[in-house]
Chains A and B, each alone.
Chain A
Amino acid sequence: MSHAGTLDPEHPHGPLQPPGDTTGLFGVFRRRYLLKLLVQKEVRVRYQASVLGLAWSYIKPLVRFLTYVVIVGYVIGLKDLENYPLHVFCGMMIVHFFTETLSAGTKSVVKNKSLVNKMNVPREMFPVASLLVTSYHMFPQYVILLIGCVLIGWSPGPMALAAGVLSLVLIATFSLAVGLAFSALNVLYRDVQNFTETIQLLVRWTTPMIYPFELIASRTNGNWVEQLYLCNPVAIAVMLAQRCFWVPTLDHPGEVVLPSHLMIRGVIMLAVSLVLVWLAQKLFSHLEGRFAEQML
């Protein structure tokens, strides 16, 4: 049956069309005001009824940072690595961004159950809001990083700055893809929520944050294990961040071992992540139709 005759697009209230927004991520950015309010809400609510409040956003990474520097740096013995705390700190910036987006993003749709079930909003809104909330919480940490770098004599060249920008764009894109896919899967299988904790642990140890890439390179000599290691967008983003902040502060930057063609690898990973965002959006749209009945 066709309704072509009754569609009349000239009508002042617009044409007859299926209700609901099916434009996915584009719909999210068209409704920026709602997105802004959801981010504000999340920022206000996350640490409500806790005495230290927003300070928790800094206490948790600070404790982790000190643990790495003291235990791994001094007790196990990586302190000879020049500016080791900075090496850890810029790795953590990236890894922490990913793990926070992953854990908050995965739960985001389930947590906003009543909105998803009763109100008409683009559901991609929720993982995107999680990503923005994480960025908001991490911003001061980037300021601390910059101040620290300047104090120990940071003089980045254009290549270093380009690496820094690329690392941020890469980690944000990859986190968006993972957050989008996992938030949808979590509605159907709450196992995903538990799975993310395992991924967080894995990511912390399979990126050159606590240890330098040199250790991986010297043990693998470029074999398939190393190639596999370098297929991890988070690892590439971490090394790009180190290229930006850590390498320029060293006495002999030329002696640092980083993978060959790091920038090109970064660009390729960014392209891969963009494809992943597209695939994640397809998965999200596909599963979205079943959200409401899975969350009664």
Chain B
Amino acid sequence: MSTSVILDQVSKRFTLRDARTLKRQIVARARREPVSHSFLAVNDISLEVEEGESIGLMGLNGSGKSTLLRLISGVLRPDDGLVLTRGRIAGLIEVSAGFHRQLTGRENIYLNGAIMGMSEAEINRKFDEIVDFSGIERFLDQPVGSYSSGMFARLGFSVSVAAESDIFIIDEVLAVGDPPFKKKCIKKIQQIRDEGRTIFFVSHNTTQVKRICSRAVVLESGKLAFDGAVADAIHHLHYDDDTDDFDAEGGEI
């Protein structure tokens, strides 16, 4: 067993310019107002993940989960600290990110596959498998702009699974699929886990996290608030307080 991901004191600061135009900058300076403000989206996080671990990334909206995933996937570079990963990274950070609305489903499978690092031969070989898993063969030659968000999620998930990454990232994309497709996805993710690949799974659904993850990481305003067993993380988040749980039906999947 060897290390798959290392985060060493990683921080990412976002700077937002409030006054973009010259006029507004001058006005802001004259009034002694700040022309920009910044905040730490990820604040000094250290984490070591072994190959084959499946990490449930939890936390409230805006706690830095997506920023952390984007740092791990290499889309963002840390301002401070070091991110190291091993092998191919693929997954879904946003359902529609790699898709072009004016291209057909078929063309988008190729485009998305290539974005995730697959070669033409690799996509050709897995094309039927991708279409089969997504269950949208009827709409394959329509522009994806006409797809529903659920169909987007189906197609996106199917391609990212086929990319056979060493590190697999899923960010809240299962929320939009219908229950049968969710069930299929969870099964697939469990299969990926059992193959010994590393997984980062973001979800608010405690049942899903319990099913998939061997370890949970909780973020609170960009900081690492908890790192350990899944059940303890759920307790830490007080997600188990609420008996009137909207995700109660999630128990079936």
Asked if A50 lies at the interface with its beta carbon under 8 angstroms from chain B, I say no
Q: Please tell me which one of the listed residues B8, B89, B110 contacts residue A3 in the complex, with CB atoms under 8 A apart.
A: B8
Task: Tell whether, in the assembled complex, residue A18 and residue B82 are in contact, meaning their CB atoms are under 8 Å apart.
Answer: yes
B40 to chain A, nearest CB (A): 12
Contacts of A261 in B (CB 8 A): none
Q: Which residue of the partner chain B has the closest CB to A40?
A: B107
Contacts of A41 in B (CB 8 A): 100, 103, 107, 111
Task: Tell whether, in the assembled complex, residue A37 and residue B110 are in contact, meaning their CB atoms are under 8 Å apart.
Answer: yes
Task: Tell whether, in the assembled complex, residue B97 and residue A118 are in contact, meaning their CB atoms are under 8 Å apart.
Answer: yes
Q: Please tell me which one of the listed residues B8, B70, B73 contacts residue A1 in the complex, with CB atoms under 8 A apart.
A: B8
Q: Which residue of the partner chain B has the closest CB to A188?
A: B17
Give 1 or 0 for each of A111-125: 1 = CB within 8 Å of chain B CB.
000110111110000
Task: Tell whether, in the assembled complex, residue B75 and residue A119 are in contact, meaning their CB atoms are under 8 Å apart.
Answer: yes
Task: Tell whether, in the assembled complex, residue B70 and residue A292 are in contact, meaning their CB atoms are under 8 Å apart.
Answer: yes
Give 1 or 0 for each of B105-145: 1 = CB within 8 Å of chain A CB.
00100110011110110000000000000000000000000
Q: Please tell me which one of the listed residues B6, B72, B77, B120 contacts residue A33 in the complex, with CB atoms under 8 A apart.
A: B120
Contacts of A38 in B (CB 8 A): 111
Contacts of A214 in B (CB 8 A): none
Interface residues of A in 140-197 (CB under 8 A from B): none
Asked if B150 lies at the interface with its beta carbon under 8 angstroms from chain A, I say no
Task: Tell whether, in the assembled complex, residue B2 and residue A11 are in contact, meaning their CB atoms are under 8 Å apart.
Answer: yes
A259 to chain B, nearest CB (A): 40
Q: Please tell me which one of the listed residues B2, B9, B85, B116 contacts residue A19 in the complex, with CB atoms under 8 A apart.
A: B85
Contacts of A31 in B (CB 8 A): 114, 117
Task: Tell whether, in the assembled complex, residue B16 and residue A293 are in contact, meaning their CB atoms are under 8 Å apart.
Answer: yes
Task: Tell whether, in the assembled complex, residue B98 and residue A19 are in contact, meaning their CB atoms are under 8 Å apart.
Answer: no
Contacts of A118 in B (CB 8 A): 70, 75, 93-94, 97-98
Task: Tell whether, in the assembled complex, residue A114 and residue B77 are in contact, meaning their CB atoms are under 8 Å apart.
Answer: no
Contacts of A8 in B (CB 8 A): 2
A260 to chain B, nearest CB (A): 44
Task: Tell whether, in the assembled complex, residue A13 and residue B114 are in contact, meaning their CB atoms are under 8 Å apart.
Answer: no
Contacts of B72 in A (CB 8 A): 19
Contacts of A34 in B (CB 8 A): 114-115
Q: Which residue of the partner chain A has the closest CB to B98?
A: A119
A186 to chain B, nearest CB (A): 13
Asked if B86 lies at the interface with its beta carbon under 8 angstroms from chain A, I say yes
B75 to chain A, nearest CB (A): 5
B246 to chain A, nearest CB (A): 27
Task: Tell whether, in the assembled complex, residue A6 and residue B75 are in contact, meaning their CB atoms are under 8 Å apart.
Answer: no
* Interface size counted on chain B using CB atoms at 8 A: 42
Task: Tell whether, in the assembled complex, residue B97 and residue A115 are in contact, meaning their CB atoms are under 8 Å apart.
Answer: yes
Asked if A53 lies at the interface with its beta carbon under 8 angstroms from chain B, I say no
Task: Tell whether, in the assembled complex, residue A20 and residue B8 are in contact, meaning their CB atoms are under 8 Å apart.
Answer: no
Task: Tell whether, in the assembled complex, residue A14 and residue B114 are in contact, meaning their CB atoms are under 8 Å apart.
Answer: no
Q: Complex Cα distance A174/B14, Å?
A: 34
Q: Complex Cα distance A290/B14, Å?
A: 9
A243 to chain B, nearest CB (A): 41
Give 1 or 0 for each of A259-296: 1 = CB within 8 Å of chain B CB.
00000000000000000000000000000011011001
Asked if B84 lies at the interface with its beta carbon under 8 angstroms from chain A, I say yes
Q: Complex Cα distance A45/B107, Å?
A: 12
Q: Complex Cα distance A14/B87, Å?
A: 6
Q: Complex Cα distance A21/B73, Å?
A: 11
Task: Tell whether, in the assembled complex, residue A119 and residue B93 are in contact, meaning their CB atoms are under 8 Å apart.
Answer: yes
Asked if B166 lies at the interface with its beta carbon under 8 angstroms from chain A, I say yes
Given A18-B83, A41-B100, A120-B89: A33 and B114 interface contact (C-beta under 8 Å): yes
Task: Tell whether, in the assembled complex, residue A20 and residue B94 are in contact, meaning their CB atoms are under 8 Å apart.
Answer: no
Given A37-B110, A117-B75, A119-B75: A19 and B89 interface contact (C-beta under 8 Å): yes
Give 1 or 0 for each of B89-103: 1 = CB within 8 Å of chain A CB.
100011011101011
Given A14-B86, A33-B114, A293-B15: A6 and B98 interface contact (C-beta under 8 Å): no
- Extra inter-chain contacts (6) besides given A1-B8, A13-B51, A20-B74, CB under 8 Å: A1-B82, A3-B8, A19-B84, A45-B100, A114-B94, A118-B97
The 7 closest A-B pairs by CB, nearest first: A20-B74, A19-B74, A13-B87, A118-B97, A34-B114, A16-B84, A19-B85
16 example contacts (A-B, Cβ-Cβ < 8 A) are as follows: A3-B82, A11-B2, A11-B86, A15-B86, A16-B6, A17-B85, A18-B84, A20-B73, A20-B74, A34-B115, A37-B111, A44-B103, A117-B70, A117-B97, A119-B98, A120-B89
On B, residues with C-beta under 8 Å from A are 2-3, 6, 8-9, 14-16, 51, 70, 72-77, 82-89, 93-94, 96-98, 100, 102-103, 107, 110-111, 114-117, 119-120, 166
On A, residues with C-beta under 8 Å from B are 1, 3, 6-8, 11, 13-21, 31, 33-34, 37-38, 41, 44-45, 48, 114-115, 117-121, 289-290, 292-293, 296
